[in-house]
Amino acid sequence: MNGADWVVLLGTIVGIAAYGSWRTRHVRSLNTYLRGNASTGWGTIGLSVMATQASAITFLSIPGQGFESGIGFVQNYFGLPLALIIVCAVFLPMYRRLNVYTAYEFLGQRFDEKTRLLGAGLFLLQRGLAAGVTIYAPAIIISTVFDWPLDLVIVFTGLLVIVYTVTGGSEAVALTHKWQMAVISAGMVTAMVVLLLRLPAGLGLTGAAWVAGALGKLQAVDFSLDPSRRYTVWTGVFGGLFLSLSYFGTDQSQVQRYIGGASLREGRLGLMFNAMLKIPMQFVILLLGALLFVFYQFAPHPVFFNQAEWRRHAQDGRFQAIEAEHAGAVVQSQSAIRAWLQARASDDTAREASARAAMVAASDRTHAIRAEAKAALVAADPRAKATDSDYVFITFILTQLPHGAVGLLVAVMFAAALSSKASELSALGTTTTIDFWRHVRPLAAADEARNVRVARRFTALWGVFAVAFALFAGFAENLIEAINILGSIFYGVLLGLFLVAFFLRRVGGSAVFFAAVIAQALVIVMYFSLNIGYLWYNLIGCAACIALSVALQAVLPPRAGVNEGRRG
Amino acid sequence: MTPRSRPDEAEPPGVPGFGTWRGVYLFVFGWFVVVVILLSVFTAIFS
């Protein structure tokens, strides 16, 4: 990074944070602090929902997933548009009608206080733990690549987001999201354009797609019914539907983004904006990763992309031998790809098939050497970080992009980290204030200024907790999966609570409360004892909560009265 | 928390070509189906 990169990086990141703080420094109204500006339109809501979901991990790990495993991960998002339609039609109108600050207030209205506290508690547990991961994830990668102190990156990111989120609350979050999404869009378009320009002459986008496809990177959909496969159309549509319904319908960090706004229409259109754009957007990011794979078939690249980790351990002749073997395999792979491209152009089917087999064999050999390198790292130090897919895109950025653009792409990572973190902190502070603090201080609800002060303190407290968690905890290597797994363990039951609330009017608070506790214990036991795709836990947790609620309601005394929370 | 009245639930989408929210949802669902079909075709062509 040179001076130009630093100017772009600090100018965008600190500039947006300062602008957000300054514009919202006078926020005194509880409604504005917790729900945002009452005149917010659908465009801002849509971008805010998108920015909340798009964490730094999205832009670091997902191109790496495309590089390593191909674009099949896109199926993970197949349930999202369906979930957003349900949220628009059922959840959002109810939240606005009840005029709630948090989704869990609805549970209190529909059932009772203990169920509301259980829902809010599950959210705080899941999101509070994830808050540490979302701040740690980009920090570890950026600090490793640039050789910056990890603690400094965590503290810098944490303080920046705490300042503007505490100052302006939900309004500052929505305001900064717009500009952060602008930086992210500009950066990703720049990266894609540079990547296409850097492909070998004559190959182009179509040629690169043919190579990526022949090497197994472009299987976007898989209709297999094998339950052990992590990403298929079915896990995406069914597991993804439940995950997305939980996330968008019951996770306060998302609910808070769309319950404010000028009208119900603005929230609905903002969500539909996401329903239409999310899959194409994720496809493009994954395609970027698959094209990076093709690019590195022709360009020199390290056997292990996390070079800092490699240099730390690769100190004997065995590692140098692996590097030399890899360099030779890459040259052979390049020749095999060029031979296949020529054979493909010749219309000779037999020659093409033979050249394709040779190309796949050469690619498999390169892959095997990379696996050997990872095994050697673990053999040298069992605690070594043996996955490097998160480092592929950042390596490309640093080695191939011109100065200025490098700063912009690093700003993309920070903008994404700050945008998702800000929503989390605002939601954690809001839920703690509204669902817990007001529960023990019911008389304080009327004092608006005091509520805003308390919400600010809780938001700051969660920020400090997230920073401390990131500083002192160790995390799983594949960070995006760590967050998704954590979400899948808790989200299913939380969604079950809401689905019972919306659709099973006969079920009362005690039945659903104990059903949720048993279902959550069941999911945790299953996670530690079974080997199935983690997305299924969303469905299992939700189904268990609903089925147990119905069963328990059948044996418990009938409810004294029906209070579905559907009254106008 | 004060429940609101329901006037904005009857508010039309205000999107050209759509008179009801049901129409908007069907359009978004249709878009999703088209995207999955396009991805299937993409897979069939390039894999």
Contact between residue A547 and residue A522 where contact means Cβ atoms under 8 Å apart = no
pLDDT of B10 > 50? The answer is yes
Q: What is the mean pLDDT of residues A430-458?
A: 90
Mutating which of A42, A221, A241 best tests the B interface, going by the most B Cβ atoms within 10 A? A221
Q: Could you tell me which residue, A477 or A391, shows the higher pLDDT?
A: A391
What type of residue is A303? V
A143/A154 Cα distance (integer angstroms):
9
| Exposed / middle / buried, residue B45 (Cβ in 10 Å: 0-12, 13-18, 19+) | exposed
Q: Is A93 on the interface with B (CB under 8 A)?
A: yes
pLDDT of residue A565: 42
pLDDT of A477 > 60? The answer is no
Interchain contact, B39 vs A74, CB within 8 Å: yes
A88/A21 Cα distance (integer angstroms):
31
What would the pLDDT profile of A98-107 be if each residue is shown by its tens digit? 989 999 999 9
Phi/psi region, residue A149 (left: phi>0; alpha: psi -120 to 50; beta: rest), is beta
Q: What share of chain A is helix, strand, coil (3-state, %, to 5)?
A: 80, 0, 20
A455/A407 Cα distance (integer angstroms):
35
Tokens of A141: 């990668």
Interchain contact, A78 vs B36, CB within 8 Å: yes
* pTM of the predicted protein model: 0.89
Per DSSP, helices labelled H in A37-102 are 42-53, 56-69, 79-86, 92-98
Contact between residue A215 and residue B34 where contact means Cβ atoms under 8 Å apart = no
Q: What is the DSSP string of A267-280?
A: HHHHHHHHHHHHHH
Mean pLDDT of chain A: 89
Interchain contact, A279 vs B1, CB within 8 Å: no
Of B5, B28, B39, which has the smallest distance from its Cβ to A276's Cβ? B28
Could you tell me the pLDDT band of residue A469, with boundaries at 50, 70 and 90?
Answer: confident
Could you tell me the pLDDT band of residue A478, with boundaries at 50, 70 and 90?
Answer: low
Could you tell me the pLDDT band of residue A229, with boundaries at 50, 70 and 90?
Answer: confident
Phi/psi region, residue A452 (left: phi>0; alpha: psi -120 to 50; beta: rest), is alpha
Looking at beta carbons, which residues of chain A come within 8 Å of B11?
263-265
pLDDT of B28 > 50? The answer is yes
Interchain contact, A85 vs B28, CB within 8 Å: yes
Distance from B41 to chain A by nearest Cα, in Å? 9
Q: In chain B, count of helices (H) and strands (E)? A: 1, 0
pLDDT of residue A242: 83
Distance from B34 to chain A by nearest Cα, in Å? 11
Interchain contact, B5 vs A568, CB within 8 Å: yes
Distances (CA, A) of A305 to A308, A325, A393: 9, 16, 9
Interchain contact, B36 vs A233, CB within 8 Å: yes
Could you tell me the pLDDT band of residue A316, with boundaries at 50, 70 and 90?
Answer: confident
What would the pLDDT profile of A149-170 be if each residue is shown by its tens digit? 989 999 999 999 999 999 999 9
Contact between residue A177 and residue A274 where contact means Cβ atoms under 8 Å apart = no
Interchain contact, A210 vs B46, CB within 8 Å: yes
Of B8, B25, B29, which has the smallest distance from its Cβ to A263's Cβ? B8
pLDDT of residue A70: 92
Per DSSP, helices labelled H in A346-445 are 349-380, 392-400, 405-431, 438-440
Interface residue ranges in chain B relative to chain A, Cβ cutoff 8 Å: 1-6, 8-9, 11, 13-15, 21, 24-25, 28-29, 31-32, 35-36, 39-40, 42-43, 45-47
Mutating which of A110, A265, A283 best tests the B interface, going by the most B Cβ atoms within 10 A? A265
Interchain contact, B35 vs A96, CB within 8 Å: no
pLDDT above 70 coverage of chain A, percent: 96
> Number of C-alpha atoms within 13 angstroms, CB side, residue A171?
22
Could you tell me the pLDDT band of residue A539, with boundaries at 50, 70 and 90?
Answer: confident
Tokens of A39: 């005149």
Between chain A and chain B, the number of residue pairs with CB atoms below 8 A apart is 86
Distances (CA, A) of A117 to A260, A426, A437, A540, A553: 23, 18, 11, 22, 20
A190/A354 Cα distance (integer angstroms):
37
Tokens of A278: 């999310």
pLDDT of residue A419: 93
Look at residue A552 and give its three-state secondary structure: helix
Question: What residues contact A506, with CB distance under 8 A and at least 6 apart?
Answer: A553, A559, A562
Distance from A186 to chain B by nearest Cα, in Å? 24
Question: What residues contact A150, with CB distance under 8 A and at least 6 apart?
Answer: A139, A140, A143, A144
B12/A265 Cα distance (integer angstroms):
8
Q: Could you tell me which residue, A487 or A199, shows the higher pLDDT?
A: A199
Mutating which of A107, A233, A268 best tests the B interface, going by the most B Cβ atoms within 10 A? A268
A225/A233 Cα distance (integer angstroms):
9
Q: Could you tell me which residue, A562 or A375, shows the higher pLDDT?
A: A375
pLDDT of residue A381: 83
Go through A212-247 and write b for each residue having 16 or more CB atoms within 10 A of its CB, e for each that does not.
bbbbbbbbbbbeeeeeeebbbbbbbbbbbbbbbbbb
Tokens of A427: 């939601």
Interchain contact, A88 vs B4, CB within 8 Å: no
Distance of CA A237 to the CA centre of its chain: 18
What type of residue is A145? V
User: If you search the block for the tokens 């004092």, which residue do you land on?
Assistant: A447
Interchain contact, A279 vs B8, CB within 8 Å: no
B47/B42 Cα distance (integer angstroms):
8
Contact between residue A344 and residue A210 where contact means Cβ atoms under 8 Å apart = yes
pLDDT of A253 > 80? The answer is yes
pLDDT of B3 > 70? The answer is no
pLDDT of residue A547: 96
Interchain contact, B4 vs A213, CB within 8 Å: no
What type of residue is A523? V
Question: What residues contact A338, with CB distance under 8 A and at least 6 apart?
Answer: none
pLDDT of residue B4: 61
pLDDT of A366 > 70? The answer is yes
- Residue A123 has a CB neighbour count (10 Å cut-off) of 25
Distances (CA, A) of A16 to A158, A180, A183, A258, A476: 15, 7, 10, 22, 31
Task: State the DSSP code for A559.
Answer: P
Among A103-107, A119-123, A535-539, name the one with the lowest average pLDDT: A535-539
What type of residue is A286? L
pLDDT of A475 > 70? The answer is no
- Residue A382 has a CB neighbour count (10 Å cut-off) of 8
Contact between residue A67 and residue A301 where contact means Cβ atoms under 8 Å apart = no
What would the pLDDT profile of A386-431 be if each residue is shown by its tens digit? 888 888 999 999 999 999 999 999 999 999 999 999 999 999 999 9
